[in-house]
Amino acid sequence: MSKFTMGYFTMKEADVLDYATTVLDCFDSHAVLSCKEIGDGNLNYVFRVMDEKAGKSIIIKQAGPCARISDEFKVSPDRNRIESEILQLQHRLAEGFVPRVFKYDPIMNCCVMEDLSDHVIMRRALMEHKKFPFFADHITTFMTKTLLLTSDVMMDHKAKKELVKNFTNPELCEITEDLVYTEPFFDCPRNDVFPPTRGYAEKELWSDEALLLETAKLKFEFMTNAQSLLHGDLHTGSIFIKPDSTKVIDPEFAFYGPAGYDVGNVIANLIFAYENAEATIEDQQEKIDYKGWLEETIIQVMDLFVDKFKELWKEHTTERTAKYKGFDAYYLNNIIRDTAAVAGCELCRRILGIAHVKDITAIEDLEKRARAEKICLSVGKTFILQREKLKSGRDFMSVVKDWEVKIK
């Protein structure tokens, strides 16, 4: 009997090689394989297994019993089932935008999938000031299809409720409830605040009761609005990219929540890239050019989402009452409002909370980093408070540009 059938254990590189040779049939039986752990996320172990001679490789991703970032987070390895199943569902809904899954192993809590090493992690590429002209088009196709086609507007309601059951993800949702909606908005011991930013956070966020009330409303929206099957963690570190291809990875936070959660995460993380460019590009012309591309991309993410939402709505709405005049605009308006609010929470939590983004922490000049952090916090707060008024990508960008002028 193989050690891989006797019970779960966390694998090291040597175990993964053994696993690839004895359990999988992805490689020739005489192939010489190598294995390297390449994960740099907060939660899991990611191994690349290669047959260099044949030019073949796969990824084996295993969920450990706690998060890599801190063993305070005990998270069930069952999240690997959620990830494997949603990747297969997303492949059916939005073909070409996620890696192919070859196998899910419920004993070892690992999945075997396509290696995307011809792509790069988008956050890193944006920090090197690379442009991706098709990104807005690709990500809005992915989001509209995965979000709308899993909603009650377009699905049989009983089948949708089965998906809600299957993708109930309490532990990972709890991480989001704490890290995104709660801890950034008070002086939580688990926060990790850059000292020059602390005073600003105390004054502008932690003591603003009107803001706190709005974050409470948003947290309850997140916990109770089972609108769409979300990716749940759609930041630029969850996107593999090359100029003509965009692949969304790491959907282990998937669950039924407000559709604007995914859209808002994409927008906030593009804003981090925008502030990284503001702080790190020396040459003025290059800065204007790169920020201009990011600005256009942010605008297009919101606006193409709206266009594609309208097209899909016309083609795929099955629910009778959703066809009543005006309901489409009401529904879309709510998603745009939630997008603004979630972008706001993400902008605040990545600055003050435990899980930062490199776009900001890698800014070496400490004054420039402090300025970038204050801009992100102020934009975040404005997005939350003004969410009913922000209707387009241009509205979002004018908030960002106003704060860049105000914060010196």
Stretch that binds ligand SR1, among 32-40, 66-74, 311-319, 393-401 (CB under 6 A): 66-74
Q: Near Mg ion by CB under 5 A, which window of 40-48, 102-110, 124-132, 141-149?
A: 40-48
| Distance, CA of 315 to CA of 333 (rounded, Å) | 19
Contact in structure between 131 and 87 (CB atoms under 8 Å)? no
- The region of 45-53, 65-73, 239-247, 255-263 touching ligand SR1 under the rule CB under 6 A is 65-73
Interface with ligand SR1, residue 69, by CB under 6 A:
yes
For the segment 216-245, give every residue that binds ligand SR1 (CB under 6 A): 233
Q: Should residue 346 be labelled a site residue for Mg ion when binding is judged by CB under 5 A?
A: no
Shortest distance, CB of residue 41 to Mg ion, whole angstroms? 4
The residues near 309 (Cβ < 8 Å, ≥ 6 apart) are 144, 148, 332, 335
Kindly tell me which residue out of 41, 232, 251, 344 binds Mg ion, with binding defined by CB under 5 A.
Answer: 41
Looking at residues 134 to 193 of the shown chain, list those that interact with ligand SR1 (rule: CB under 6 A). Answer: 175-176, 179
Site for ligand SR1 in 301-360 (CB under 6 A): 355
Q: How many residues bind Mg ion (CB under 5 A)?
A: 2
Q: How far is the CB of 42 from Mg ion (least distance, A)?
A: 6
Q: Please tell me whether residue 240 adopts helix, strand or coil conformation.
A: strand
From Mg ion, ligand SR1, none, interface partner of 64 (C-beta below 5 to 8 A by class): none
Cβ-proximal residue to Mg ion, closest one = 250
For residue 238, which of 262, 274, 272 has the smallest C-alpha distance? 262
Measured from each CB, the residue nearest to ligand SR1 is: 42
Based on the shown chain and the rule CB under 5 A, indicate whether residue 232 belongs to the binding site for Mg ion. no
**Shortest separation between residue 349's beta carbon and ligand SR1, angstroms:** 8
Q: Taking the complex as a whole, how short is the minimal distance between the CB of residue 392 and Mg ion, in angstroms?
A: 29
Asked if residue 73 binds ligand SR1 (CB under 6 A), the reply is yes
| Burial of 306 from C-beta contacts in 10 A (0-12 / 13-18 / 19+) | middle
The residue (of 192 and 365) whose beta carbon lies closer to ligand SR1 is: 192
Single out the segment in contact with Mg ion by CB under 5 A; choices: 4-12, 119-127, 168-176, 244-252.
244-252
Tokens read off for 63 = 């969920």
Cβ(281)–Cβ(375) below 8 Å: no
How many angstroms separate the CA atoms of 181 and 179, rounded?
6
**Which listed residue (250, 346, 359, 404) binds Mg ion by CB under 5 A?**
250
Residue 179 partner contact from Mg ion, ligand SR1, none using kind-dependent CB cut-offs of 5 to 8 Å: ligand SR1
The amino acid at residue 112 is V
Among 49, 50, 67, 351, binds ligand SR1 (CB under 6 A): 67
Which of 154, 180, 193, 162 shows the shortest CA–CA distance to 319?
154
Return the structure tokens found at 16. 């993964």
Q: In whole angstroms, what is the distance from residue 193 CA to residue 361 CA?
A: 11
DSSP state of 185: G
Q: How far is CA 114 from CA 100, 244, 247, 366, in A?
A: 5, 17, 11, 40
Say how many residues touch ligand SR1, by CB under 6 A: 11
Measured in degrees and rounded to the nearest 5, phi and psi for residue 113 equal -145, 175
Residues 280-297 as b/e (b if ≥16 CB within 10 A, e otherwise) read bbeeeeebeebbebbbeb
Instruction: With beta carbons less than 8 A apart as the criterion, state whether 206 and 236 touch.
Output: no
Q: How far is the CB of 40 from Mg ion (least distance, A)?
A: 10
- Count CB atoms within 10 A of the CB of residue 166: 17
Residue 268 found at the interface with ligand SR1 (CB under 6 A): no
Please, which residue, 129 or 235, has the CB nearer to Mg ion? 235
Site for ligand SR1 in 28-57 (CB under 6 A): 41-43
Tell me the closest approach of the beta carbon of residue 232 to ligand SR1, in angstroms.
8
Interface residues toward Mg ion, by CB under 5 A: 41, 250
Interface residues toward ligand SR1, by CB under 6 A: 41-43, 67, 69, 73, 175-176, 179, 233, 355
